[in-house]
């Protein structure tokens, strides 16, 4: 009854063919809606929000669906707002190198469009075909090239945000440098859709590099001290790697065919500079390390494959999970080692990688639910020992209801809660999706 009323009400804002009643039982990831609406304009979005706010309806926001396993303990909220139809470029100022885009636009589409102008967004998120720019930013997703190019907080210069009360707020602007007022952009990056629906994103762009390569260094087993001293030497040099990512042997086998601790180093610059840096890497590599170089398209292909590792975001027989772990740069080696040890002990497939220059790791686990849970516990313990954190970036709903996704509340949680309460006092947006149940 309630659902059918809701259905009728929503038809006031969105035409009926864009309102779908959810099927039961297809939501092993949760974060869905009993009724899913697909707005096509900002106005439709604000009207839905205004309605939900007035009638205390809870909203779950989705677009490409790649982050439905990230946070939240509810199978379906009252309304699922899907932004999959809310896409397209609003403005591309080619000479100013800025781009304004609707939040439901898939990332890869954007990069393909920008490539025609020799430009790109300097982010390298996972699942670029399906992930949308809004989702990537709301979840603050980033990949290995963060070392060279930074993350969403370095690329975003402005937003239009639909607030829970239906008003629209602009933050930042369309220029690359801006300190007018609070830096509100930062508040929404990584906020998991809990304080507003991003409708438009303005990004600063970078030129496409003229040349690029990936060097793969396969380290022989049992020589972790070489790994550490190699990474330290490269980081202390004047070379400018865009990525310096350590891959666990299991992951390396999948990607390169060699079951070794492998360091993937990306260089992007003019061709002479890339080759010069490759030579430097060869020079400082320990003698028994196997060095191979992927140039140009082969380098691109390597990363394309890389960005699609991990859970397939569909229901599988084995339980799949992804942890994002943050530690201090060189502690990444310990995290990736631990992954390898644990895969033997727990009969799990564990693939891990982490940035030796930025300290962020991703660990993909696959196996029996109980083993996955145990491994998560152990990795969390390690993160704590290393003064870092471990967040569950992907986990089926059932397990999210058992294990806390975000770990311990930070000591300053009071202020985080204060922000949520101020902006979304009725807690209608993505309820419970974020740290400490925000």
Partner 1 sequence: MVKKSMQTIDKDIMNLAKIVGEKEILFKQADLLAYDCDGFTIHKHLPKAVVFPNSTKEVAEVVKYCNANQLPFLARGAGTGLSGGAIPLNGEVIISLVKMKRLLSVDLENRRAVVEPGFVNLKLTNSIADKGYYYAPDPSSQYACTIGGNVAENAGGAHCLKYGVTTNHILGLEVVMPSGEIIDISTNGVLDLPGYDLLGLLTGSEGTLGIVTKITVRILKNPEAKQTVLAYFDKVEDGSQAVSDIISSGIVPAALEMMDKIAIEGVESAAFPVGHPKDIEALLLIEVDGISVGITEQIKQILEVCKTRNVREVKVAQSEEERGRWWANRKTGFGAMGAISPDYLVQDGVIPRSRLPEVLARINKISEESGLRIANIFHAGDGNLHPLVLFDARQPGQTEKALAAGSECLRVCADVGGTITGEHGVGIEKREEMRFVFTEREIAAQTDIRDVFNPHNLLNAGKLFPSPGRCAEVKKEMKNGREAFA
Could you say which residues in the range 342-381 bind partner 1, by CB under 8 A? Answer: 357-360
Binding to partner 1 in span 38-97, by CB under 8 A: 93-97
According to the 3-state scheme, what is the secondary structure of 402-416?
Answer: CCCCCCCCCCCHHHH
- Smallest gap from residue 438 Cβ to partner 1 (A): 8
How many residues in the chain? 438
| Tokens representing residue 66 in the block | 């790649």
Q: Which is nearer to partner 1, 316 or 387 (CB)?
A: 387
Per CB under 8 A, which of residues 102..141 are in contact with partner 1? 118, 140
Stretch that binds partner 1, among 55-63, 146-154, 294-302, 303-311 (CB under 8 A): 146-154
- Residue 226, Cα to own-chain centre: how many angstroms? 31
The one among 111, 223, 378, 407 contacting partner 1 by CB under 8 A: 407
Choose which of 2, 179, 257, 344 interacts with partner 1 (CB under 8 A): 179
Record the tokens describing residue 415, joined without a space.
């202020």
**Beta strand 76-82 with 59-62: parallel, antiparallel or unpaired?**
parallel
Write each residue from 229 to 268 as x if it is in contact with partner 1 (CB under 8 A), else as -, in one continuous string: ---x--xxxxxx----------------------------
Q: Verify binding: residue 273, partner 1, rule CB under 8 A.
A: yes
The interface with partner 1 within residues 408-427 (CB under 8 A) comprises: 410-413, 415-416, 418-419, 422-423
Residue of 24, 177, 287, 344 interacting with partner 1 (CB under 8 A): 177
In this chain, which stretch among 23-31, 46-54, 188-196, 285-293 interacts with partner 1, using CB under 8 A? 188-196
Nearest distance, CB of residue 107 and partner 1, angstroms: 19
Site residues (CB under 8 A) for partner 1, limited to 296-335: 324, 326-330
CB nearer partner 1, residue 80 or residue 326? 326
Minimum CB distance to partner 1 smaller for 237 or for 305: 237
Q: How far is the CB of 4 from partner 1 (least distance, A)?
A: 35
Tokens representing 388?
Answer: 């870092």
Residue whose CB is less far from partner 1, 173 or 286: 173
């Amino acid at each position: 009854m309630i659902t059918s009323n809701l259905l009728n009400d929503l038809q006031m804002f969105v035409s009926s063919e864009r309102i779908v009643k959810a099927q039961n039982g297809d939501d092993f990831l949760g974060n869905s809606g009993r009724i899913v609406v697909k707005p096509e304009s900002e106005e439709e979005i604000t009207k839905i929000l205004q309605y939900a706010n007035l009638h205390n309806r809870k909203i779950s926001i989705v677009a490409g669906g790649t982050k439905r396993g990230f946070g939240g303990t509810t199978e379906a909220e009252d309304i699922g707002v899907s932004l999959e139809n809310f896409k397209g470029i609003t403005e591309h100022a080619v000479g100013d190198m800025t781009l304004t885009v609707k939040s439901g636009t898939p990332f890869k589409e954007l990069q393909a469009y920008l490539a025609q102008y020799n430009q790109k967004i300097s982010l390298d998120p996972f699942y670029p075909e399906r992930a949308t720019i809004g989702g990537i930013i709301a979840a603050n997703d980033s990949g290995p090239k963060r070392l060279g190019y930074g993350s969403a907080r370095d690329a975003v210069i402005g937003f239009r945000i639909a607030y829970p009360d239906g008003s629209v707020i602009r933050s930042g602007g369309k220029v690359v440098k801006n300190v007018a007022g609070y830096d509100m952009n930062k508040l929404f990056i990584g906020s998991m859709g809990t304080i507003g629906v991003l409708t438009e994103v303005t990004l600063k762009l970078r030129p496409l590099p003229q040349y690029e390569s990936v060097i793969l260094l396969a380290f022989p087993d049992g020589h972790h001290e070489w790994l550490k001293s190699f990474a330290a030497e490269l980081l202390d040099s004047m070379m400018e790697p865009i990525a310096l990512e350590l891959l666990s042997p299991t992951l390396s086998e999948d990607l390169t065919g060699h079951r070794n601790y492998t360091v993937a180093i990306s260089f992007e610059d003019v061709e002479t500079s890339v080759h010069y840096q490759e030579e430097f890497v060869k020079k400082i590599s320990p003698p028994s390390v196997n060095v191979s170089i992927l140039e140009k398209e082969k380098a691109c292909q390597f990363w394309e494959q890389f960005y699609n590792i991990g859970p397939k975001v569909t229901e599988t027989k084995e339980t799949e999970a992804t942890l994002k772990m943050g530690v201090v740069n060189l502690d990444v080696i310990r995290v990736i080692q631990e992954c390898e040890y644990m895969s033997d002990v727990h009969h799990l497939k564990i693939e891990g990688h982490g940035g030796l220059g930025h300290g962020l790791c991703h660990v993909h686990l696959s196996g029996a639910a109980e083993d996955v849970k145990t491994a998560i516990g152990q990795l969390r313990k390690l993160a704590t020992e290393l003064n870092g954190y471990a967040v569950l970036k992907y986990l089926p709903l059932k397990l999210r209801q058992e294990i806390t996704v975000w770990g311990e509340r930070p000591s300053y949680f009071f202020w985080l809660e204060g922000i949520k309460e101020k902006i979304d006092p009725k807690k209608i947006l993505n309820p419970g999706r974020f740290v400490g149940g925000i």
